[in-house]
Structure 1
Amino acid sequence: MTRVLLVDDQALVRTGFRVILDAQPDLDVVGEAGDGLEAIAAAAAHAPDVVCMDVQMPGLDGLEATRRLTAAPGAPAVLVLTTFDRDDYLFRALEAGASGFLLKSASPEQLVEAVRVLASGDALLSPAVTRRVIARFGAAAPPESPSEGALPELTERESEVFALLADGLSNAEIASALYVGEATVKTHVSNILLKLGVRDRVQAVVHAYRSGFVHP
């Protein structure tokens, strides 16, 4: 059972999300909060696996709340949900440690799938989001020279996984493409992040383009 915390300053929005998520047999909404400070307190009280976080809220906003939540040991995964498709929100959310970014105009099915993806330890980095991240952090930067940032020695399978990860595929999609189990992909991804010395999939994507491993 995945424990979910809903954070939004609009009670009606929280109610709608609760109805959608609680209808799933594997998801359980364990708490709600109306602003960032309430979110931090609720997370400490309920120990959620996933936090659905609004951005614009009174007091402490969702981006700073995300930063504080993800900095704590055993932090939950944070799915940022916003009405506004703004690049500054996207990049600030990812920099704050969010594992996913979804517009509130998404379908109920997309919300459910996003929560499940984050609960599995994966990141919701769609191809469209990947392209925007690359445009901001990767393609705009000159490639690193081999002496400055060469990729470590990856196995052939890790290289295949890394190339698909750089295209924005989820673990499940990579597993399907390579005809292997999702657990195997998760192991490869963990090894890749460790060898690259990067924190998460977003940084891995940027590194893939900056190093010249893949090209826009």
Structure 2
Amino acid sequence: MRSSIKVVIIDGHTLTRYGLVRLVSADADITIVGEGGLASEAHALVVSKHPDVVVLDVALPDADGLRLARELRDRHSELGIVVLTAQAEDDVLFRALETGVSAFVAKTAPTTEVLGAIRHAAVAAASFTATGLAHAVARRSQVAAGQPAISQVTAGDLAVSLTLSPREREVLTLLAAGLSVPAIAATLFVSLSTAKTYVSRLYEKLGAPNRANAMMTAFRLGLIKPELTASA
């Protein structure tokens, strides 16, 4: 028999937390093992309850939820992390992507989407999923269109001069799919340091300081398509 997914919920709004507990508990495959309203409670709950997934609000009363998510990811690499937000802005989504969470879901999302995010996080903690990510990348790319890329190189010039090796294209595809660097290393059967080198070289070629900017540049240059980005 398949074991139930153990979940801890951290949300500062009592009614929201109550609703989440009721929603998640109604699913036979998911069990709530702990809940709290403050970021300061999260670490102790994770250590004592050993959840598969933590669901937390992006705006907690005592801390930034994405900063908490980063701390949890650094301490518990296998932990699934689902961030719920009432702030569905693109900037918040891209922050979540860089933080290393497993899923980013709007609080207005359908029940099936919330439950799907939890299930995804339980089996693919290192892979990012967010409905509308491809569209967010497209919007940001459109805003940046016409502006010089980093190092004062225009997108057109970069497209002409940019040549990616087969391995770099493979890494780009994995990044677009939402995989973390450790997950990329495991997928490619290379060491973590080698994977970091691949990613660093790719960022350098794209003139990008981070994943979000790399995705926008690659999208604008036609190196990736919207359907390749995580959970379009």
TM-score where L is the length of structure 2 = 0.65
Measured in 2, the distance between the counterparts of 1:77 and 1:203 equals 24
- Say which is worse superposed, 6-15 or 40-49, in terms of deviation: 40-49
Measured in 2, the distance between the counterparts of 1:70 and 1:207 equals 27
For residues 154-212 of structure 1, give each alpha carbon's deviation from its aligned partner in whole angstroms, at most 9, with x where no partner exists. Answer: 5x9x69x949x84x6x99xxxxxxxxxxxxxx99x9339959537xx968845743775
* 2:165 aligned with 1:132: no
- Is the CA contact (8 Å cut-off) linking 1:139 and 1:209 kept in structure 2? no
Q: Please, which of 143, 165, 178 is the counterpart of residue 152 of structure 1?
A: 165
* 2:187 aligned with 1:190: yes
- Is the CA contact (8 Å cut-off) linking 1:149 and 1:211 kept in structure 2? no
Alignment gaps of 5+ in structure 2: 201-210, 227-232
Q: Structure 1 pair 204/24, CA: closer, same or farther in 2 (3 Å)?
A: farther
SS in 1 for 2:224: coil
* 2:25 aligned with 1:22: yes
Deviation at 1:96, TM superposition (A): 1.9
* 2:98 aligned with 1:95: yes
**Counterpart residue type for residue 223 of structure 2:** F
Q: Please, which of 70, 73, 76 is the counterpart of residue 70 of structure 1?
A: 73
Structure index of larger Rg: 2
- Is the CA contact (8 Å cut-off) linking 2:10 and 2:55 kept in structure 1? yes
Equivalent residues in 2 for 1:1-216 (5 A)?
Answer: 1-121=4-124, 122-126=127-131, 128-133=132-137, 135-136=139-140, 140=144, 141=149, 150-154=163-167, 162=173, 166=176, 190-191=187-188, 194=195, 196-197=198-199, 205=215, 208-209=218-219, 212-214=222-224
Q: Structure 1 pair 208/13, CA: closer, same or farther in 2 (3 Å)?
A: same
After superposition, the CA RMSD in angstroms is 4.1
**Counterpart residue type for residue 165 of structure 2:** P
- Is the CA contact (8 Å cut-off) linking 1:35 and 1:58 kept in structure 2? yes
The size of the alignment, in residue pairs, is 195
Deviation at 1:136, TM superposition (A): 3.8
Deviation at 1:132, TM superposition (A): 1.2
**Counterpart residue type for residue 129 of structure 2:** L
Q: Structure 1 pair 112/153, CA: closer, same or farther in 2 (3 Å)?
A: same
Measured in 2, the distance between the counterparts of 1:150 and 1:39 equals 45
For residues 129-154 of structure 1, give each alpha carbon's deviation from its aligned partner in whole angstroms, at most 9, with x where no partner exists. Answer: 223135447984455959x9743325
SS in 2 for 1:197: helix
Deviation at 1:8, TM superposition (A): 0.3
Measured in 2, the distance between the counterparts of 1:162 and 1:212 equals 12
- Is the CA contact (8 Å cut-off) linking 1:35 and 1:57 kept in structure 2? yes
User: Percent identity at matched positions?
Assistant: 31
Alignment gaps of 5+ in structure 1: 172-185
TM-score where L is the length of structure 1 = 0.69
Measured in 1, the distance between the counterparts of 2:130 and 2:58 equals 18
